[in-house]
Amino acid sequence: MNKGPENPVTAAELDAAMPSILSAPRDAGVVRLVCTRPKPNTRNFPEVIKLTRLKGVSDDYHPKQPWLELDDGSADPRIEVSILPWRVLDLCWRERDRVTHPGDNIAVDMLLSQDDLPVGTQLSVGTAIVEVSDVPNDGCVKWKVRCGRDAYKWIITPDNLKLRLRGLYARIVQDGEVRVGDVLRRI
Protein backbone atom coordinates (compact mmCIF):
# COMPACT_ATOMS: atom_id res chain seq x y z
CA MET A 1 0.00 0.00 0.00
CA ASN A 2 1.82 3.19 1.02
CA LYS A 3 1.06 5.00 -2.25
CA GLY A 4 -0.50 8.42 -2.51
CA PRO A 5 -4.05 8.92 -3.74
CA GLU A 6 -4.60 9.13 -7.47
CA ASN A 7 -7.43 11.57 -6.83
CA PRO A 8 -6.47 13.58 -3.71
CA VAL A 9 -8.80 15.99 -1.96
CA THR A 10 -8.65 19.47 -3.46
CA ALA A 11 -8.34 22.88 -1.81
CA ALA A 12 -11.89 23.69 -2.94
CA GLU A 13 -13.24 20.51 -1.31
CA LEU A 14 -11.36 21.27 1.89
CA ASP A 15 -12.71 24.82 2.03
CA ALA A 16 -16.25 23.60 1.31
CA ALA A 17 -16.01 21.05 4.14
CA MET A 18 -14.87 23.54 6.77
CA PRO A 19 -18.40 24.41 8.04
CA SER A 20 -19.08 20.71 8.67
CA ILE A 21 -15.73 20.24 10.40
CA LEU A 22 -16.30 23.29 12.61
CA SER A 23 -19.79 22.06 13.54
CA ALA A 24 -18.39 18.87 15.12
CA PRO A 25 -19.13 18.39 18.83
CA ARG A 26 -16.77 20.27 21.15
CA ASP A 27 -17.16 18.65 24.57
CA ALA A 28 -17.66 15.00 23.64
CA GLY A 29 -17.61 12.87 20.51
CA VAL A 30 -18.07 9.29 19.39
CA VAL A 31 -14.99 7.19 18.62
CA ARG A 32 -15.44 6.11 15.01
CA LEU A 33 -12.21 4.14 14.50
CA VAL A 34 -9.32 2.79 16.52
CA CYS A 35 -5.98 1.82 15.01
CA THR A 36 -2.79 0.11 16.04
CA ARG A 37 0.51 0.06 14.18
CA PRO A 38 2.24 -3.28 14.81
CA LYS A 39 5.10 -2.18 12.55
CA PRO A 40 5.78 0.82 10.30
CA ASN A 41 3.18 1.27 7.51
CA THR A 42 1.08 -1.60 8.87
CA ARG A 43 -2.34 -0.86 10.36
CA ASN A 44 -4.85 -2.92 12.31
CA PHE A 45 -8.38 -1.73 13.02
CA PRO A 46 -9.61 -3.72 16.02
CA GLU A 47 -12.84 -3.01 17.85
CA VAL A 48 -10.91 -2.26 21.05
CA ILE A 49 -7.43 -1.04 22.01
CA LYS A 50 -5.78 -0.96 25.42
CA LEU A 51 -4.01 2.13 26.70
CA THR A 52 -1.47 1.67 29.47
CA ARG A 53 0.98 4.06 31.07
CA LEU A 54 3.62 1.35 30.99
CA LYS A 55 3.31 0.26 27.34
CA GLY A 56 1.30 2.95 25.54
CA VAL A 57 -1.19 1.69 22.95
CA SER A 58 -1.54 -2.09 22.78
CA ASP A 59 0.03 -3.77 19.76
CA ASP A 60 1.67 -0.53 18.64
CA TYR A 61 5.34 -0.44 17.63
CA HIS A 62 5.61 3.26 18.47
CA PRO A 63 6.85 2.93 22.09
CA LYS A 64 9.75 0.84 20.79
CA GLN A 65 10.57 3.18 17.88
CA PRO A 66 9.32 6.67 18.83
CA TRP A 67 9.93 9.73 16.70
CA LEU A 68 10.28 11.80 19.91
CA GLU A 69 12.44 10.51 22.74
CA LEU A 70 13.42 11.51 26.24
CA ASP A 71 17.11 12.01 27.11
CA ASP A 72 17.37 8.33 28.11
CA GLY A 73 16.15 7.17 24.67
CA SER A 74 12.71 6.08 25.84
CA ALA A 75 9.51 7.22 24.15
CA ASP A 76 8.30 10.67 25.17
CA PRO A 77 5.01 10.02 27.00
CA ARG A 78 3.51 13.21 25.54
CA ILE A 79 3.00 11.39 22.22
CA GLU A 80 1.66 8.06 23.51
CA VAL A 81 -1.72 8.43 21.81
CA SER A 82 -2.63 10.29 18.64
CA ILE A 83 -6.21 11.45 18.20
CA LEU A 84 -7.60 12.72 14.88
CA PRO A 85 -10.92 14.41 14.11
CA TRP A 86 -13.07 11.87 12.22
CA ARG A 87 -14.45 14.45 9.78
CA VAL A 88 -10.93 15.40 8.68
CA LEU A 89 -9.90 11.75 8.31
CA ASP A 90 -13.05 10.92 6.36
CA LEU A 91 -12.45 13.86 4.02
CA CYS A 92 -8.70 13.44 3.46
CA TRP A 93 -8.04 9.69 3.57
CA ARG A 94 -9.16 8.58 0.15
CA GLU A 95 -8.67 5.35 -1.76
CA ARG A 96 -8.51 3.45 1.52
CA ASP A 97 -7.84 0.17 -0.24
CA ARG A 98 -4.53 1.45 -1.61
CA VAL A 99 -3.44 4.36 0.63
CA THR A 100 -2.14 3.64 4.13
CA HIS A 101 -4.17 5.07 7.03
CA PRO A 102 -2.35 8.04 8.64
CA GLY A 103 -1.73 5.97 11.78
CA ASP A 104 -3.65 7.90 14.42
CA ASN A 105 -4.82 5.60 17.21
CA ILE A 106 -8.23 7.18 17.70
CA ALA A 107 -10.52 8.94 15.21
CA VAL A 108 -13.33 10.78 16.98
CA ASP A 109 -16.23 12.87 15.72
CA MET A 110 -15.19 15.96 17.67
CA LEU A 111 -13.45 19.30 17.13
CA LEU A 112 -10.06 19.14 18.84
CA SER A 113 -9.12 22.82 18.71
CA GLN A 114 -6.71 24.51 21.10
CA ASP A 115 -9.51 26.77 22.35
CA ASP A 116 -11.76 23.81 23.20
CA LEU A 117 -9.04 21.47 24.51
CA PRO A 118 -6.06 23.45 25.81
CA VAL A 119 -2.83 21.70 26.74
CA GLY A 120 -3.33 19.78 29.99
CA THR A 121 -7.02 19.07 29.40
CA GLN A 122 -7.93 15.58 30.52
CA LEU A 123 -10.18 13.43 28.36
CA SER A 124 -11.99 10.25 29.30
CA VAL A 125 -12.27 7.77 26.48
CA GLY A 126 -13.71 4.36 27.20
CA THR A 127 -12.25 3.42 30.57
CA ALA A 128 -8.99 5.32 29.97
CA ILE A 129 -8.03 8.90 30.73
CA VAL A 130 -5.55 10.83 28.58
CA GLU A 131 -4.14 14.34 28.83
CA VAL A 132 -3.72 16.73 25.89
CA SER A 133 -0.02 17.25 25.15
CA ASP A 134 1.91 20.38 24.31
CA VAL A 135 3.52 18.60 21.34
CA PRO A 136 1.74 19.82 18.20
CA ASN A 137 0.69 17.44 15.45
CA ASP A 138 1.35 19.61 12.44
CA GLY A 139 1.51 16.80 9.93
CA CYS A 140 4.51 15.36 8.22
CA VAL A 141 5.64 14.34 4.78
CA LYS A 142 3.70 11.09 5.17
CA TRP A 143 0.42 13.05 5.55
CA LYS A 144 1.27 14.94 2.34
CA VAL A 145 1.95 11.68 0.48
CA ARG A 146 -1.12 9.87 1.81
CA CYS A 147 -3.62 12.73 1.67
CA GLY A 148 -2.20 15.09 -0.94
CA ARG A 149 -0.45 18.44 -1.12
CA ASP A 150 -3.62 20.49 -0.65
CA ALA A 151 -4.54 18.55 2.50
CA TYR A 152 -1.08 19.19 3.88
CA LYS A 153 -1.13 22.93 3.11
CA TRP A 154 -4.62 23.13 4.63
CA ILE A 155 -3.64 21.68 8.01
CA ILE A 156 -0.49 23.82 8.38
CA THR A 157 -1.97 27.25 7.69
CA PRO A 158 -1.62 29.33 10.88
CA ASP A 159 -5.38 29.63 11.49
CA ASN A 160 -5.91 25.92 10.93
CA LEU A 161 -3.02 24.88 13.18
CA LYS A 162 -5.06 26.28 16.10
CA LEU A 163 -7.94 24.04 15.07
CA ARG A 164 -5.72 20.94 15.25
CA LEU A 165 -7.14 19.56 12.01
CA ARG A 166 -4.29 17.03 11.98
CA GLY A 167 -5.25 16.03 15.50
CA LEU A 168 -3.46 16.06 18.81
CA TYR A 169 -1.13 14.00 20.93
CA ALA A 170 -1.93 12.87 24.45
CA ARG A 171 -0.26 11.05 27.29
CA ILE A 172 -2.00 8.24 29.15
CA VAL A 173 -3.04 9.20 32.68
CA GLN A 174 -5.19 6.17 33.54
CA ASP A 175 -5.00 2.73 31.96
CA GLY A 176 -8.10 1.49 30.20
CA GLU A 177 -9.74 0.25 27.02
CA VAL A 178 -11.14 2.22 24.10
CA ARG A 179 -13.77 0.74 21.80
CA VAL A 180 -15.34 1.90 18.59
CA GLY A 181 -18.56 3.61 19.70
CA ASP A 182 -17.17 4.85 23.03
CA VAL A 183 -17.47 8.53 23.82
CA LEU A 184 -14.38 10.71 24.18
CA ARG A 185 -15.29 13.43 26.67
CA ARG A 186 -13.56 16.43 28.17
CA ILE A 187 -13.31 15.99 31.96
Distance separating alpha carbons of residues 118 and 50, to the nearest angstrom? 24
Distance separating alpha carbons of residues 98 and 56, to the nearest angstrom? 28
What's the pLDDT score for residue 63?
A: 63
Q: Where are the alpha helices (DSSP H) in the chain?
A: 11-22, 86-92, 141-147, 149-156, 158-163
Q: What are the chain's domains?
A: 11-186 (2.40.33.20)
What's the pLDDT score for residue 45?
A: 96
**Model pLDDT for residues 110-131, shown as the tens digit of each residue:** 999 999 999 999 999 999 999 9
Find the mean pLDDT for residues 53-71. Answer: 80
Q: What share of the chain is helix, strand, coil (3-state, %, to 5)?
A: 25, 30, 50
Helix (H, G, I), strand (E, B) or coil at 52: strand
What's the pLDDT score for residue 70?
A: 82
Query: Which helix (H) or strand (E) element contains residue 149?
Result: helix 149-156
Averaged pLDDT of the chain: 92
Residue 27 pLDDT exceeds 90: yes
- Whether the CB-CB separation of 35 and 57 falls below 8 Å is answered with no
What's the pLDDT score for residue 40?
A: 84
- pLDDT range class, residue 1, cuts 50, 70, 90: low
